[in-house]
Structure 1
Amino acid sequence: MTHTSTDQPGRRTGGAVVPVLAFAGIVVAVMQTLLVPVIKDLPQLLATSPGNATWVLTSTLLSGAVATPIMGRLGDLYGKRRMLILSLAVMVVGALVSAATSDLLIMIVGRTLQGFAMGAIPLGIGLMRDMLPREKLGSAMALMSSSIGVGGGLALPAAALVAQHADWHALFYGAAGLGVLAIGLTLLVVPESPARAGGTFDLPGAIGLSVGLVLFLLPITKGSDWGWSSGTTLGLFAASAVVLGLWGVMELRVKAPLVDLRTSARPAVLFTNLASVMVGVSFYVVSLVLPQLLQLPTSTGYGLGQSMVTAGLLVAPLGLTMMVTAPVYARLSARYGPRFTLILGLLIIAIGYGAGLGLMSAAWQSLAIAVVLGAGIGLAYSSLPALIVGAVPASETGAANGLNTLMRSIGTSVSSAVIGMVLANTANDVGGVAVPTMHGFRVSFLIATGAVAVGLLFALFLPRTPAATPRLRASSEEDANLARAEEVLRSFRGRVLDVGGAPVAHARVTLIDRRGRQAGATLSEADGSYALAVPAQGAYVLAAKATGHGPLASAATHAGDERPVDLDLALPGETVTA
């Protein structure tokens, strides 16, 4: 049953929620980039073949892809804070498992558990939407969204330093410590969100999506080892198409689906997700190319001869610039809208990669490229959750942002596979060692530029929205009903649902004050949404009724401030009498 609370957590916690949630996002990113400095040494460290060693990275990617939309939906249903803590706790267990072993299979189990932390990003964004006043929401979501780049940028030099001067298992102990700190801060500072979605958890949908994603991402990440035209690779791609197709048909028929495909098909959501794939591609290319270029010996004629730690420090501004752009994004988005900032971000990324084609001959040039690309990627990443939040109902924020984060992850996976293949196919054999060439680096930058161009095309198809901090309205279809609630922010709003969690259209919702007088009334929209302005603070009763359903009266209290109170109304089934 859908329920809510009248507690106003955003008022109690002040500004502490945002940095704590952003720190949780940074911890997740640190976990992802933890092994980058020791990738080449993994076969020796784990006493296995290079092909088997890649499973240490692939397992994290697969579990993260599966966990992201599932944890988002569980957060919508059972509490985003609860699921955020669970995600971080599973990551800590995985880090401790990996820290205690040098056995390949146990390491893969530990890394798989660490992948579950990826759900923290959409859960954090959902918590921010539920708790923060709208004037603070834009910059907060921008910081949360870009935290994955910030954490990655900071983790590279730190992990390189640890890998050079300590046992490599210390990387996992460090990640576990950060995870425990993030859990403690979340428990102390972040209250649970009162918002809940209707319906139940779609277990068949979760299984179907998980199987489909694994079948799709496995050949992407292992295709270069297996052969892109091999029966295994092509068979898995075909199987993923069948499974995801059947999953989509099933999701359209379920009352409370894991992913609302009808909502996802709206232009504002669809083109944002497609652009997200391209942004993910562009982010990962620079992370793959610049560290290698910086560390190659000068004897190659183009390598810059930097140490592992120095290379990490030179690439770190990529993440730091992403963090700096969060407040810049908030101001630009408030004036021009998130669609504009996404387009601007993509244009800056294109300039960065275009300039990078001719700026690869000195360390300072790599630093400049990292700063420009960080600014562009930061703007683009910051825009994505704002576009999603402005286009989906409040009860679906976690799942929708989970899907968006998944799209970015798919972009990075595709980028990793394609750029890895390009660098391998253009490498020179020097004493039995494959050395990447400048030609391979330039082709990689050209591919990134092409991805950005496609992303720009998708962004141009996005519907224009009024320039403002992300709308707290449920969807474009609910605008008429929520117009008054945006003019008078002091309001109750939500959706009218049936016992199965499906929306009820044309239900009459009446607001009754403490004296029993009607203070307002409205009809729910086609997707069940409603909004009622509140004349003053105090206790009210929201009465809802609709044909074919029993009536409902729900007590609620409004604090009288300029924040809407979310309250979904679940109508009971109609009682049939003889």
Structure 2
Amino acid sequence: MSAVPAGSPVRTGAVVPVLASAGITVALMQTLVIPVIPELPRLLNASAGATAWAITATLLAAAVATPIMGRLGDMYGKRRMLLISIGLLVAGSIVAALSSSLVPLIVGRALQGFAAGVIPLGISIMRDELPSDRLGTATAQMSASLGVGGALGLPAAALLAENISWHALFWVSAGLGVIILGLVLRFVPESSVRSGGRFDVLGGVGLSFGLISLLLAISQGADWGWTSAPTLGLFAVAVVTILAWGWWERRTSEPLVDLRTTARPQVLLTNLASMVFGFAMFAMSLVVPQLLQMPKATGFGLGQSMLASGLVMGPSGLVMLLTAPLSAKISAARGPKATLMLGAIVVAAGYGVGSILMGSVWEIVLVSLLIGAGIGLAYGAMPALIMSAVPVSETAAANSFNTLMRSIGTSVSSAVAGVILANLTINLGTHTLPSQTGFRTVLIIGAAAALVALAIAACIPTRSPTPTPPATPASAEAPATA
């Protein structure tokens, strides 16, 4: 299979679906092991706390990889970094598929996490290569693939785990990765838009250390205790490290993240809105599966299997994908700021309805579809807002940082929801389960977070809704017009 050289005519009909498929495949990794988490202690002869690292390792690796791969893509070629990311996904899937104990599984999951840069890299390739009339819809679809993969991953993983084995989850993901790798080699050209320069090693190490400390404290705080010495120590280390990293980034000539660009009102507010919106989005993923699988004896649980609950959530992923073209049309007519605000309103409405309609499967389907539509609208607008405010040579780094902000929001959401559901409980025989009040509280907080994102988005400076045209080598270093 021949690779596409730089400068070749772009087959735009193939580039978009190939890159979107790559994004969906990587996003599948976020929910891949959720169906088998309760069984992992028995399967791997390990404690429940230890097996939770099968998720934590992916989260931490993704946080480190996303900004670093974005910067390397701007410097040395986005397609090259995209191929490396997918290669890491394949390698991690194979390691996990061959594992029969905890440590190899965690190593495999960490390697899978290093592929998280695929989505921002894909968005950046689209900006470089696609004609302006296709860019809005394409980037909206690519951005929405983060939610699509997460929604579709649950039913697919549950089906494989229940009918074949948990190892099949990773063999299938390895196979998908190989297919995507071949498609990228065949249809996606390497962009000639590169910033060059020297990689900021100290900045990469500092940001990685700060993010790992922060996310480790957030993800493990409930188990360790929020006021325990390890949790508070990690939070303190994260704050000090990130402040020191910011000091360094403002003084080095070739920073990992250009904080002057990040501080521009449009970029700063979009990133803040993305983080809060990530918080709001993840509430659905936490509440809906548990509510569907809760025993009917509770009086509010729906008693569904993991597969059934996954199938209930699956359509929301398809709605996100179908909403992406609508997001692009609204952005073209009214500007991406208006689209982001509309998405926040729809998500808030979905959570509001969900806090009332919780009594049957069809009600849950309706709520998840509504929230999915709002996510599709908002996620489609975020890259347009970022790309219209940063230089073409920093596209991948800026999109990667925006993706990172969303991930931090989802991590905080998971921690907050976990605390609420652990404290608002009912007793069913010998079991302690989350109460209906707990679920309703998380949904209301999700609605409130979406409204906060709406308020932040309303403050974003208005810019031209016209998508930034593809760059040429001569304009690679020129900043986008304000």
Q: CA deviation at 1:491?
A: 10
Distance 1:74 1:492, change over 3 A: closer
Distance 1:296 1:188, change over 3 A: same
Q: Which amino acid aligns with 2:146?
A: I
Match of 1:471 in 2: 468
2:290 to 283, 292, 302: 292
Aligned partner of residue 434 in structure 1, secondary structure? strand
Alignment of 1:91-110 (within 5 A): 91-110=89-108
1:369 to 346, 358, 367: 367
Aligned partner of residue 194 in structure 1, secondary structure? coil
Q: Which amino acid aligns with 1:387?
A: L
Q: CA deviation at 1:430?
A: 3.1
TM norm structure 2: 0.96
Aligned partner of residue 10 in structure 2, secondary structure? helix
1:419-457 CA-to-partner distances (Å, cap 9, x unmatched) read 112111112243443322111100110111121121111
Q: CA deviation at 1:79?
A: 0.6
Q: CA deviation at 1:492?
A: 4.6
Q: Which amino acid aligns with 1:151?
A: G
Alignment of 1:12-31 (within 5 A): 12-31=10-29
Alignment of 1:66-77 (within 5 A): 66-77=64-75
Between the aligned partners of 1:431 and 1:178, the Cα distance in structure 2 is 44
Match of 1:318 in 2: 316
Q: CA deviation at 1:283?
A: 1.4
1:81-119 CA-to-partner distances (Å, cap 9, x unmatched) read 110010011111111111111211111111111101101
Aligned partner of residue 12 in structure 1, secondary structure? coil
Q: Which amino acid aligns with 2:101?
A: D
Aligned partner of residue 359 in structure 2, secondary structure? coil
Match of 2:440 in 1: 442
Aligned partner of residue 428 in structure 1, secondary structure? strand
Alignment of 1:323-338 (within 5 A): 323-338=321-336
Q: Is residue 142 of structure 1 aligned with residue 127 of structure 2?
A: no
1:275 to 273, 276, 279: 273
Q: CA deviation at 1:187?
A: 0.4
401-410 or 147-156, which deviates more = 147-156
Q: How many residues get paired? A: 477
Q: Is residue 427 of structure 1 aligned with residue 425 of structure 2?
A: yes
Q: CA deviation at 1:529?
A: 5.0
Q: Is residue 255 of structure 1 aligned with residue 216 of structure 2?
A: no
Alignment of 1:490-529 (within 5 A): 492-495=474-477
Between the aligned partners of 1:458 and 1:78, the Cα distance in structure 2 is 34
Between the aligned partners of 1:445 and 1:351, the Cα distance in structure 2 is 11
Between the aligned partners of 1:248 and 1:129, the Cα distance in structure 2 is 28
Match of 1:236 in 2: 234
Between the aligned partners of 1:210 and 1:432, the Cα distance in structure 2 is 43
Q: CA deviation at 1:200?
A: 1.0
Q: CA deviation at 1:466?
A: 2.4
Match of 2:212 in 1: 214
Q: Contact 1:393 / 1:473 at 8 angstroms: preserved in 2?
A: no
Q: Which amino acid aligns with 1:156?
A: L
Q: Which amino acid aligns with 1:307?
A: S
Q: Which has the higher contact order (CA 8 A, sep 6+)?
A: 2
Alignment of 1:30-45 (within 5 A): 30-45=28-43
Q: Contact 2:154 / 2:310 at 8 angstroms: preserved in 1?
A: yes
Q: Contact 2:10 / 2:188 at 8 angstroms: preserved in 1?
A: no
Max Rg structure:
1
Q: CA deviation at 1:530?
A: 9.6
Q: Contact 1:91 / 1:113 at 8 angstroms: preserved in 2?
A: yes
Between the aligned partners of 1:168 and 1:176, the Cα distance in structure 2 is 13
Q: CA deviation at 1:165?
A: 1.1
Aligned partner of residue 114 in structure 1, secondary structure? helix
Aligned partner of residue 169 in structure 1, secondary structure? helix
Q: Which amino acid aligns with 1:458?
A: I
1:381 to 376, 379, 389: 379
Q: Contact 2:68 / 2:204 at 8 angstroms: preserved in 1?
A: yes
Q: Contact 2:7 / 2:189 at 8 angstroms: preserved in 1?
A: no
Match of 2:44 in 1: 46
Q: CA deviation at 1:472?
A: 4.0
Aligned partner of residue 475 in structure 2, secondary structure? strand
Between the aligned partners of 2:86 and 2:426, the Cα distance in structure 1 is 42
Q: CA deviation at 1:300?
A: 1.2
Q: Contact 1:8 / 1:131 at 8 angstroms: preserved in 2?
A: no
Q: Is residue 167 of structure 1 aligned with residue 165 of structure 2?
A: yes
Match of 2:129 in 1: 131
Between the aligned partners of 1:335 and 1:123, the Cα distance in structure 2 is 26
Distance 1:530 1:272, change over 3 A: closer
Q: Which amino acid aligns with 2:136?
A: G
TM norm structure 1: 0.80
Q: Which amino acid aligns with 2:357?
A: L
Between the aligned partners of 1:287 and 1:218, the Cα distance in structure 2 is 20
Q: Contact 2:25 / 2:176 at 8 angstroms: preserved in 1?
A: yes
Match of 2:191 in 1: 193
Q: For structure 2, which runs of at least 5 residues remain unmatched after alignment?
A: none
Q: Contact 1:390 / 1:473 at 8 angstroms: preserved in 2?
A: no
Between the aligned partners of 1:464 and 1:530, the Cα distance in structure 2 is 15
Q: Contact 2:203 / 2:256 at 8 angstroms: preserved in 1?
A: yes
Between the aligned partners of 2:452 and 2:35, the Cα distance in structure 1 is 31
Q: Which amino acid aligns with 2:11?
A: T
